[in-house]
Amino acid sequence: MDTVPVEGTWRHAPFAAEIEDGMIYGRGAQDMKSASIQHLEAVRGLIAKGKRLKRTVHLSFMPDEEKGGEQGMREFLKTEAYRRLNVGFALDEGLSNAGEEYLVFNGEKTKWQMKIVCTGKAGHGSMLLPDNSGEKVRHIINSFMELRDKYRHQLVDDSSLTIGDITTINLTKLEGGTLTNIVPEKFTATFDIRLATTVNHELFERMINRWCKEAGSGVTVEFEAKDPHVSPTRMDESNAYWIAMKGAFESMSIPIIQRTMPATTDARFLRAHCPALNFTPMRRVPPMPHQSDERLPLRVFVEGIQVYENILLAVANV
């Protein structure tokens, strides 16, 4: 099962799962080997207790998720093997919460990643040539950053919003040029955009195309990723699985908070086929995915196994 690469300085070997002072250290301790092992332990616990469920529980361990899942879950969902599973409900990974509540996510922002290619007239660095690629890329960057600033202020000004509720825009790569005294023919700006669930995709793309036209001739968009809009899973009386899952939380006296997932997971592919929720039983834990010395308290890991047992009993007996 994939994780992101190991970077930075670690106190413990990142793939040893060493325990010190009640903490499990390792890449994947929070994202996402912990929940995968909890799934296995929960199923093993139910079998050991002789529990019989009305519905079959399938466990999937997918490759490629950290690279986007396009060659993992997305391709699997096209197969006859998936169709035969007759899946009615899915649980995928969530995030930890430093507070007392568990976080349950019913939708995800849509991932759009794109290159804006700005071409112009090449020449000597001492000249003021027309049709300048630098001027064009400046207009593009300014347009994206001004919109980014608008969304950032919305998040700061409204305490009811979380990062999952707003569109995020980030300039992640800027490429172009060879020598200091040569005006380059091309600059490329790469953006990582995660669209909020309320955004109209057609209007947003139309806006980007307008910016490119305003920047000048020879400015084009190349999408590296362009996920479609997928509606969030309903968390109301119409979703019997959610009602069962909610009842399990209530029986354990564990408070929950519903949110929109700020990043992307394999659930975005599943959600187009069946109801899907993102949840990992990690509370009273600061989020540390992808960080150096990623770690999870042992007590939280053990508690999560029992939580999954109770949830599986509930949703698999709907």
> Is residue 108 within 8 Å of 231, Cβ to Cβ?
no
Please enumerate, as own/partner, the contacts of 34-41 that have beta carbons within 8 Å and a separation of 24 or more: 34/280, 34/282, 34/296, 34/301, 34/304, 35/93, 35/280, 35/281, 35/304, 36/1, 36/61, 38/281, 38/301, 38/304, 38/305, 38/308, 39/308, 41/305, 41/308
Establish whether 131 is a catalytic residue.
no
Specify the amino acid at residue 17. Answer: A
Choosing from 31, 65, 93, 303, the catalytic residue is 65
β-partners of residue 103 are 257
CA 69 to CA 76: how far, in whole Å? 10
CA proximity to 145, closest of 198, 222, 211, 209: 211
CA 151 to CA 170: how far, in whole Å? 12
Query: What H or E segment, with its residue span, contains residue 80?
Result: helix 80-85
Establish whether 65 is a catalytic residue.
yes
Give 72's contacts (C-beta < 8 A, 6+ positions apart).
62, 63, 64, 65, 266
Coil/strand/helix, residue 1:
coil
Specify the amino acid at residue 313. Answer: L
> Is residue 17 within 8 Å of 26, Cβ to Cβ?
yes
Choosing from 2, 64, 75, 205, the catalytic residue is 2
Coil/strand/helix, residue 230:
coil
Give every strand in the sheet of 23-25, ordered side by side.
18-20, 23-25, 295-297
Give 140's contacts (C-beta < 8 A, 6+ positions apart).
116, 118, 189, 211, 212, 215, 219
Catalytic positions, written as ranges = 2, 65
